[in-house]
Each structure stands twice: as structure tokens, then as C-alpha cells.
Chains A and B, each alone.
Chain A
Amino acid sequence: MRALSCPVPLLALAILLGGCGEVWNNPYPSQDGGGNILYSAFTERPKHLDPVQSYSEDEAEFNSQIYEPPLQYHYLKRPYELAPLTAEAVPRPRYEDAAEREVAADSPKAAFSVYEIRIRPGILYQPHPAFARDGEGRPRYQDISREELQGVHSLREFPHSGTRELTAEDYVYQIKRLAHPRLHSPVFGLMSEYIVGLKEFAGRLKQADAAQAAAGGHSAWLDLTQFPLDGAQAIDRYTYRIRIKGRYPQFAYWLAMNFFAPVPIEVDRFFAQPGMIEKNLTLDWYPVGTGPYMLTENNPNARMVLERNPNYRGEPYPAEGEPADAGAGLLADAGKRMPFVDKVVYSREREGIPYWNKFLQGYYDSSGISSDSFDQAVRLSVEGEAGVSPEMARKGIRLETSIGTATRYFAFNWLDPLVGGSQPDAAARERAKKLRQAISIALDWEEFISIFANGRGISAQGPIPPGIFGFKAGEAGINPVVYDWSNGAPRRKSIEVARRLLAEAGYPDGRDAASGLPLLLYLDTTDRGPGDKPRLDWYRKQFAKLSIQLEIRGTDYNRFQEKVRKGAAQMFAWGWNADYPDPENFLFLFHGPQSRARTQGENAANYANPEYDRLFHQVKHMENGPARQALIDRMMGILHEDAPWSFGFHPKDYGLLHGWVSNLKPNNMARNGLKYRRIDAALRERRRAEWNRPVLWPLGIVAVLLVASAAPAVWGWRQREQSRGCG
């Protein structure tokens, strides 16, 4: 009986796998074998794919292949540099005074910056039902009824599709959508400070929407073209103009983000038809763009598939890069028409471990996608700073690293009476400063990088990571409060120095000198998962070096944010990923008026220093150059001395890739890297077969075991039946 039950699955297994060729564990359909397909994964389903709402990296992974804002980052050059995408050239702003007369760039009278963007003609959208027209040239799916939508659950179920040329009006339409009353764009608040008339425009839209709702058209389409916006206007079919209040040279970087990608009015109108939203047919779910790929399968539970956009114009692969790029083979495809890969299959992989194991088996082409769990997956592998382990090198796996544009930090809340810096009493401020400096020395980020990031990072000397203007390498750039320069490298000051500072701060050996009570500090983190214990232990260990008692309060991300927003956290660990590669995007994290607790800004530590704020205003609008560098150096000096953060580290971008993947260079700013990628599908096929030979002896052993355990049973059965027969 027992023997009988198990061979059935074994048999089924053998039959089933017989058909799959030599590998048994291929997670993809066998007919896809050898195809020019790139395999990747996503952890969480994207929440928003509408370019007005989407702001997270995992969403950009899809959107950036589909949508094309006017600008992009150069794929190979470092430091990061803007390059035109659909625009003819990177626009240079023109300046106007209050009376809208043009003035010189350095004129103090400049009140507006005007960006005039000219896009290339002849760019076509991907095929989409919203563009489909019937025999008489009328949109085919313009006024479909709820009944016609019955049973339709995806866009693929519309039989007809069409395309249209990209126009400047599409870009303007999208800028107007930033203010749409039914959408919430994360950058609306910021942009309404800059784009002329956007705030008032939003007010008008809100009224119009309310009027429409009162008239019964609750979710009916709101035709944004009926409402003019001063700050964004199409001049002709291929040119549009954006007017910005004051100077904001960083605005060009925003033009490389999907918030400024084109959205065709037909599509918006198509999705606004009644019944669409209930079927989840929305722009938030079905992106439409002019980019190299289009989303053809959107099943967030299992897989998302990008396929080559048949209408894509074929941008040439860049011909210049960093000096080392040619040697690394990154310029081999220079001038060739992109994209190179036909199809990209993203499988849902909820956890890092299966992703990592499949990567090792050759079923994913690269790893190192910047999401936490994949991060973890990469950490599982790579040893130390030297690169990949010998076993992996033998498999042809290589590691690409690149300077990141992010920083991880440990902040002291400036409003806190113990560690902060806003006490009324100067002596108390001085004590708190010494305390912060002592902790900054004690937190050994080098060790953190080596344990938790496998050495993929460099300890930070200030908020600005390398590769961004304002970063200073070498002895001149070190944080003199925490580091000494010795033997050509920064060395963290010894713990004795920290202890001395602590004593000067009034806490010799971690006790309050006055009361003798132990110093107790609180750390808020979002580390509360079962896997986060090592990190909590590490923090405790660091504070124990100073004999400071540390209480860690782990909360979920929501409540953590809430606490920081209220300024109720004493110390917390957080990070910042650059929106654009300009020092302003890091320096503003300390700008007093942008305090999180006071004004909901991004200055989460609520740091405030009048001198710093004054310098920030100067630096903000300057062009990169020695003058700007000099001011930034002064600001760094202030930050080093005040130590509102313990500057943690700048994580490196890295990717692990198999031998068959080429043209991959980690790039933290550009998310549209897929079009550059090339794979050697035949090599992949061979490697997969080689690495995944099924090991059959365990099946044999299981079979033998089953037979062996069945034997006494059969024997006993016989015995019994016989004995009964005899007796």
C-alpha cells in the first residue's frame, strides 16, 4: 500500500519531464528556449504606472522603457550628464525679467526662466486601441458603452489598434495632468512653486471638476485642453515652452523624469469612458508611450512582459563614454539601432532567495535590481570587496559596480533636547554637539558596510556622494571631526577620542556627570522584520562602545514616517536617493526652512543653521564651478562641526551578470537601460543545460527505500493471511 502510493508521482514526474529536454527545472515555457528574451523579476506589483503618479524605482523599471520624456541621462558618461531623448537638444533656459523682457543669464533682474523644447518629428506611439480609427477616420473606441465592455478584462481584448505621431501638445497635456484634481502627483506641490500658473490652474480644474460632478458626470472625462496654462504651452506641432518662476537650473533634470513624459489626449479620453475604471482599465495600469518597449502582458500576480515596440524609431547606441568603457566592450555596439532584445519577461518573485537561486541556475540574466530583497540576494553571494567568489567567476558571472547617487545616514533630531541643537542655552548646545560628534565616531560604518553590504559602499564624509559635483576626494574632503588622514586613506578616529568627547559633553563613561545616571538614547528604525535582528544588534554594539544605553524602537514604515514628521524621533537611520545629480538635491536636506517637523519638507533631521541656510540660497542657483565648490566646502565644514547626521555611507550600485549579458553599466539615474542591453541566447542555452543537469540518484534511493519499506509489510501480510488460513 505504502509502496503503491508514491511511485505514481514519480512516474508522472518522469513522463512529464521527459518532454522538457535535458533540463527539468526550467521555469519558463520550453518553446521560449533560445529566444532573444531577457529575464528579470519584480518583487512587488507596481502601484502606479501613470507617469503623473509613479515615483518609485520599481515602477520606473517599467515606465522608463515605455515613456519617453524629452531628456535622458547619458548611459555611459560619468559624472551623470543629460542627453536629448525625444528633444532635438538639451534646452538652455532663457531668462526674462518681471515684464517678460529677455535679460542676460546673470542678470539680477531675471524673474522667469523659459525652456523651449523642440522635439524630433516622426516619432510614433506604440499600437494602442485608443488610436484605432474606423473606415471613416473616426476613433473606433471613443464612445463604447458599459455593455460593450462586459467581459473585457484587458486591453488585448480590443481587436483594433492604431498609432499617431508624437506632438508637443502631448507633453503640455501631461504637464497639465500634474494638476489634475483626480490624480495625485507627488511632485505637484514642488512644481506648483516653479511652473508659472500651475497652482491657479489646479484651482480652476478643481472648480470645473466639482461643477461636472454636480451635473452628474462624477468620473467623466475632464478635457484639460479647454483650460490654458501659462507655464506650459505648445508653440507649434513640435515645440513647446515651459515658464519657470525665478531661476531653477535643476529643472532640466526634471525633464528627464517620467513626470514630463508625453500622454496622448486620445488615450486619456479612452480610459475615462464609463465602465473602464471598474475593469481596472486605466492609464495607471496600461502605459502608452513612444519608447522602445511596450507592456504587452500585465499580470502583476505572475508576470509582466515588455515587447519591442514595432513603431519605435530606433535610437542609435551611444558612441562615447568613460575611458574604460571601450575596454569593457561597452562601445562595441556604438551607432547600432536599439533595442537589441526582443522581449523582456519579468516574473513575480516575492523573495530574494528564489530569485538568487534561479539567477545561479541561469534563469535570470542579472541581479542587483535596487530593491531591498534583491539587495539581500546579492549580499548572499559576493564575498568582500574583491568581486565575485571563485566558484561564481568560474561560471562566468561578473560584477559591475558603479558610483551611486544615494546616501545612507543616521540622523539626530535637531529638536531633541538631548541630542539636538536648538536648545536656548549655548552651553547645552555645545554639550549636545560633542555628544553627536562622539556618536559619529563610534558608529563604525566601515564595519557596517563590510557586514551588511558586502563592502559595496564607501563611508561618507558628507552628504554628497562621489560623482556629484561638490564631492571632494582625498584628504581635503574628509570629515575632520570623525576621520584622520593617514597612509593615503581616511581612518576613523579611535574610540578614545569619542570617549573624551563624551566626557566633555558631560557624560564620562556614559553617565551623566551630575546625576550619575546612565545616558539613555532612543533609536527609531523600520527594522522590525525577523531578519533585521543582526542590524539591531549591530547598533547596540556601537553604542555599547561608549557605554551608552541604546533603546531601539522598531515600527512599521508608516508610523516611522509619522514620528519623523512630528519630530518625535530622537535618532533614526534613513537614506536619500537623488532625484537628480546636482548637489542641491543633497544640500537641501539640511535647509532649515524645509524642516520636516515644521513645514513637511525633506529636512528630516530638522537641522537649522542660519549661516548654512544663507550659503544654501547662494549655492542653489549657481552654475558648477570653483565658486560653487568653495561655498559647498564651507557648508561641509559647518555640517562636519555640527554633526546633525552621522554620515553613514554611499552604497555602490552594482549588478551581477552572467557571461551572456553585455552592454550593462549600472546607472543610478537612468532607468531606461533596457534598450542598450544585449544577450547571447545560444550561450545562455548551453550554460543552462550544463548547470542544471538533473541529479537522478536521489530518485533511485527514494524508490529503493520505498520498496525496502514495503517488503516487510508484504511479507508480514502474507504471513498473516497464511497463518489465518492454517489456523
Chain B
Amino acid sequence: MMPVVLWTDALVFLLLAAAVGAGFQVRRRAYLLASWRRVGESRAGMAALLVLLAFAAIGLLDSLHYRPRLADANGRPANGYSTEVRSALDALLRPLRNAAEKTYSAPLATHLYARETVEQPDGTQVRLFPRLKHGGAHLRDADAEWGGDVTWRVLRGLLIAVLAGLTFAFAAVHVAARRWGVRRAQAWRNIRRGETRLAWNAALLTAGLLLLVAGPAVSLAGGYHVLGTDKVGQDVLYLTLKSIRTGLVIGTLTTLAMLPFALALGIAAGYLGGWVDDVIQYIYTTLNSIPGVLLIAAAVLMVQVAIDTRPDWFATAAQRADARLLALCLILGVTSWTGLCRLLRAETLKLRELEYVQAAQAFGAPAARIMGRHILPNVMHIVLIAVVMDFSGLVLAEAVLSYIGIGVDPSTISFGTMINTARLELAREPVVWWSLVAAFTFMFVLVLAANLFADAVRDAFDPRLAGRRNAAAVRERP
């Protein structure tokens, strides 16, 4: 296989590296560590963090891309790679990916959702719901065996989940007991009652819940389509899991893309003042005054034209779709950096008057150095809060934009594209509800976790900033 590093992959891993680096920084600075501890003390924050980590793990797996080597054909060695770009997640979910049916089938169904004319062995034709090729294919008499098989699989999944959960809990208690220097029973009691500094009980509980959902799901997925199939028979669970990466990429890379602008311009405007301030204010008022959707539409169309007219820039469809995803991130970043920029400017205005900055000025330190060494570190908490708080809004925005048709490439699996097709399915008779429910559930859990985590971070780092973002949210109501 040939590894493929898409642009967004590179940035995602850059972000990961930055996060790890920042982690080491935090360990060395007591005041930062204290703030993060406060995040950990929040039960909702811990639970949300765990859920987010689970999503992030899926997203990261889905960011390891490669082009599979073509299989050897009839003894001739193949020296080529497929144009299809796959990810580690695809490889992991191969059974789901390959188990395509003809068209719709309900969750856990054994038969197709639409009737078909089928020719009987005696030549007559009947219209019936045909058996699925993969879902429940291991059952000989689907109607009779289905209930028992599903129950058995769920129980098996639950059992494995419980075992795994207990093992995990035991390990956690063991480690905790070691570190705290108490007996295991005591450690367990502390955790259970929440008498620990960090909210370990919430974390364990969330992990348990995740396992209890994942266990049966994995167990069932072996033989069925847990969330049904879509119009061309693709497994909806697979599609939902693939959507996660798109959401995460939009949510994180957008802020990453806008950070340099917002930081440089915000601090410069606040610190330098004068005409620099005027120009920067002019730029962001101008950008702000253009209705966001129109600006995004124009920019996305422009990028699309550029991509369309130069097909030779990209070796594969995945790379083309990725370019559009990245472009969307950049565009969203351009339209959303103004809020942060304004906050940073205001904070810098305040910091500029502080003694140590004045002192540095008195020593004749160059402006760039003061901004970089003295102001930047002291506004980082605002940046952090903005990053986590923007995340959920961006995930939601992606869905809306894709819905309008100015979001991600249609070949990219995302929550927005899923909702769009799901809406058509809702109008069917009989109604096809599972895609919508699946997209809704996953998106809700992701955004809820992000919101709760953002709250915890904000409370821990700067309670005064509460609600600032929501001022913007009011403006962007549907």
C-alpha cells in the first residue's frame, strides 16, 4: 500500500503534535496545570472529555490514509495502486464497507425494505421482500431464528462490554491505589463517592456507558446492519462513523486556520494602536458586515471552479474532495476570525497598560518582542476558550452549509450530506427514518460533549468570558 497524506491529515496531525507539545508545556507551569485540574474536577467536563476522546480516536483512525496496492492478477505482478483512497478506519470496518445491499433495509433487518419481482424456480414471478445479501445472511430461517439470534448477540456484546468494563475499572482502581498509596477497596470507595480531586467516577461511568453501547453494536454488526442501509445499500453505521472525521476536521482546522490572523491582527491592533488599529478595524468591520453565508457561498464556488478547471492537480477524487474540505475550513476561518480578533484586541489594550509591559517598553524592547514574549502568552487562555467554544458551532455550521449545497464535496461523507439525503427519505412511504436518526444521535452526542467540555474549560480558565460567544450565536440563528 501507498500511504497518502491529505492536506487535512497533515494539519490534523500537526494539531495533534501541537496539542501534545502544549501538554508538556502545561505540565511545567503550575498555574496552567491548576486550570486544567479545574476542568478535570468538573464531572460533566470529564465525561465530555472521554466522549470527545472516543470521537477523536475514530477521527484520527480515519485520517491515516493510504492507497491499497492492487491485487496480483493471474500471476502477473501488479505494480499499481488503486485510485481509491482508504483510511485505517476503512480497513477496520471492512466487513461493514463491503457488506453492501441493493438498496434500503431497516436496522437489523434480514429482508430488503422494498418489494421486488423475483422469479420462482418454476418460472412464475412473485413480488416479495427479498432476503439481504449480508444482513442476517447466516440465518437459515430468518423469521424464526431472528429474535433469538439478535438477543444472543446483544447479550454476548453486553457480556463482553461488562467484562471489559470491569477489567478497565479494576486496572484504574489498581493504578489509583498505587498512586494514592491506599488500599484498593479504599481507592474504589473514593472514586465511587467522588472523593477524588479529578472526577474519576464520571469518567469511569462514561467509559462504562460507551462500552455498553459499543459492545452490542460490534457484536450485532458482525451479522446485521445495525443502523440499516441507505439507498444504494451502504451500511448506515459505516457512513455515520465516517462522518465524524469531517465534523472534527471542520471544527478544529477552522480555528487553527484563523488563529494566525486573529492573533497577529488582534494583538497588533491592540498594542500598536494608531493607523494599524484603524486599518485592522476597517478590515474586520468590512468582513463582518458581509452576510456570512454569501461570503462563504462565493468563496466555496470560487474554490470549486478552481478545482473543476484543473483536474490534473489532484491524483484522486479523495484528494479533490479533501481540497474542498480544506478550502471550506479556510473560508469558515476567514469569516469567523473577527470575533476572536476583537476579543484579543480588547485584552491587549488592557495588558498594554500593565506594569511589566510598560517596564519592557522602558527597557527599549522592540514591539514585536513585547508582543511575542509578554502579550501573547497572556492572551492564550482567551484563544483556548475560543477554540473549544467555536468547535460545536462549526460542526453545526457544516451541516447547514452542506445542506444548502455550499459545504463539503458531495462525495465526502458528512453529517450535512447525510441529513440532506435523509430528508428525502423521510418523505417516502413507508418512511425511511434510520439515516436521520443515526445522523441525529451521533451529531447530538458529539456536539453535546463539545458544549459541555467547552463550558468546563471556560469555567476553569475564565469565568468572566461566559456567554460572549453566545452573542454571536444569537445572530446566526436559522
Q: Do chains A and B touch in the complex (CB under 8 A)?
A: yes
**Would you list which residues of chain A between 359 and 381 have a CB under 8 Å from chain B?**
360, 376-377, 380-381
A285 in the interface (beta carbon within 8 A): no
Contact bitstring B83-126, A, C-beta under 8 A = 1, else 0: 11000000000000000101100000000001111000000000
Known: A552-B411, A554-B410. A538 touches B74 (CB 8 A): no
Contact bitstring A29-51, B, C-beta under 8 A = 1, else 0: 00000000000000000000000
B151 in the interface (beta carbon within 8 A): no
A509 in the interface (beta carbon within 8 A): yes
Kindly specify which of B25-33, B41-49, B421-429 makes contact with the partner chain: B421-429
A528 in the interface (beta carbon within 8 A): yes
**Would you list which residues of chain A between 192 and 227 have a CB under 8 Å from chain B?**
none
Measured as residues with beta carbon below 8 angstroms from the partner, the interface class of chain B is: 35 or more
Known: A360-B429, A552-B411. A531 touches B420 (CB 8 A): yes
A558 smallest CB distance to B (angstroms): 10
CB-based contact A511/B127 at 8 Å:
no
A143 in the interface (beta carbon within 8 A): no
Chain B contacts for A384, CB-based, 8 A? 114-117, 127
Kindly specify which of B152-160, B229-237, B268-276 makes contact with the partner chain: B229-237
B242 smallest CB distance to A (angstroms): 12
B309 in the interface (beta carbon within 8 A): yes
Rounded to whole angstroms, the CA-CA distance of A391 and B305 in the bound complex is 46
Contact pick for B424, options A392, A447, A531, CB 8 Å:
A531
Residue of B82, B230, B232 most packed against chain A (CB within 10 A): B232
Contact pick for B410, options A381, A522, A530, A550, CB 8 Å:
A530
Known: A384-B115, A530-B410, A554-B410. A516 touches B420 (CB 8 A): no
**Would you list which residues of chain B between 305 and 363 have a CB under 8 Å from chain A?**
305, 308-309, 311, 316-317, 320
Known: A551-B316, A552-B411, A553-B311. A381 touches B428 (CB 8 A): yes
Rounded to whole angstroms, the CA-CA distance of A389 and B309 in the bound complex is 45
CB-based contact B429/A392 at 8 Å:
yes
Contact pick for B80, options A385, A386, A517, CB 8 Å:
A517
CB-based contact A534/B423 at 8 Å:
no
Contact bitstring B405-426, A, C-beta under 8 A = 1, else 0: 1010111000011001101101
Name the residue of chain B whose CB is nearest to the CB of A452.
Answer: B231
A469 smallest CB distance to B (angstroms): 31
Chain A contacts for B231, CB-based, 8 A? 451, 534
Contact pick for A533, options B114, B403, B421, B426, CB 8 Å:
B421
Rounded to whole angstroms, the CA-CA distance of A537 and B116 in the bound complex is 21
CB-based contact B77/A559 at 8 Å:
no
CB-based contact B116/A508 at 8 Å:
no
Contact pick for B411, options A380, A508, A509, A536, CB 8 Å:
A536
A400 in the interface (beta carbon within 8 A): no
Chain B contacts for A516, CB-based, 8 A? 76-80
Known: A383-B114, A536-B411, A551-B316. A530 touches B421 (CB 8 A): yes
Contact pick for B115, options A383, A518, A534, CB 8 Å:
A383
B399 smallest CB distance to A (angstroms): 11
Known: A451-B103, A451-B231. A389 touches B76 (CB 8 A): no
Known: A357-B427, A549-B84. A538 touches B410 (CB 8 A): no
Rounded to whole angstroms, the CA-CA distance of A327 and B150 in the bound complex is 52
Chain B contacts for A391, CB-based, 8 A? 429-430
Chain A contacts for B102, CB-based, 8 A? 447, 451
Name the residue of chain B whose CB is nearest to the CB of A392.
Answer: B429
B228 smallest CB distance to A (angstroms): 15
B241 smallest CB distance to A (angstroms): 16
CB-based contact B424/A380 at 8 Å:
yes
B96 smallest CB distance to A (angstroms): 15
Known: A392-B429, A508-B73, A511-B70. A530 touches B420 (CB 8 A): yes
**Would you list which residues of chain A between 435 and 475 have a CB under 8 Å from chain B?**
447, 450-451
A344 smallest CB distance to B (angstroms): 25
Name the residue of chain A whose CB is nearest to the CB of B70.
Answer: A518
Chain A contacts for B114, CB-based, 8 A? 383-384
Rounded to whole angstroms, the CA-CA distance of A385 and B304 in the bound complex is 39
A625 in the interface (beta carbon within 8 A): no
Rounded to whole angstroms, the CA-CA distance of A531 and B421 in the bound complex is 5
CB-based contact B127/A518 at 8 Å:
no
CB-based contact A534/B117 at 8 Å:
no
Rounded to whole angstroms, the CA-CA distance of A555 and B409 in the bound complex is 11
**Would you list which residues of chain A between 500 and 516 have a CB under 8 Å from chain B?**
508-511, 516
Name the residue of chain A whose CB is nearest to the CB of B426.
Answer: A353
Rounded to whole angstroms, the CA-CA distance of A389 and B429 in the bound complex is 8
Name the residue of chain A whose CB is nearest to the CB of B309.
Answer: A559
Rounded to whole angstroms, the CA-CA distance of A555 and B306 in the bound complex is 11
B392 in the interface (beta carbon within 8 A): no
Name the residue of chain B whose CB is nearest to the CB of A512.
Answer: B80
Name the residue of chain B whose CB is nearest to the CB of A384.
Answer: B115
Contact pick for A353, options B316, B417, B427, CB 8 Å:
B427
A455 smallest CB distance to B (angstroms): 9
Rounded to whole angstroms, the CA-CA distance of A386 and B118 in the bound complex is 12
A532 in the interface (beta carbon within 8 A): yes
28 contacts between A and B (CB under 8 A): A353-B423, A353-B424, A353-B426, A357-B427, A380-B424, A383-B114, A383-B115, A384-B115, A386-B127, A391-B430, A447-B102, A451-B103, A451-B232, A508-B74, A509-B73, A511-B76, A516-B79, A517-B79, A518-B78, A518-B80, A520-B83, A529-B405, A530-B410, A534-B421, A536-B410, A549-B82, A549-B84, A551-B317
Q: Apart from A384-B117, A530-B417, what are 9 other A-B pairs with CB-CB below 8 Å?
A: A380-B429, A392-B429, A508-B76, A509-B74, A518-B70, A529-B405, A531-B424, A534-B421, A556-B308
Chain A residues within 8 Å of B, Cβ to Cβ: 352-353, 356-357, 360, 376-377, 380-381, 383-386, 389, 391-392, 447, 450-451, 508-511, 516-518, 520, 522, 527-534, 536-538, 541, 547, 549-556, 559
Q: Considering the complex of A and B, which 6 residue pairs feature the smallest CB-CB distances, nearest first?
A: A509-B73, A530-B420, A518-B80, A549-B83, A534-B232, A353-B427
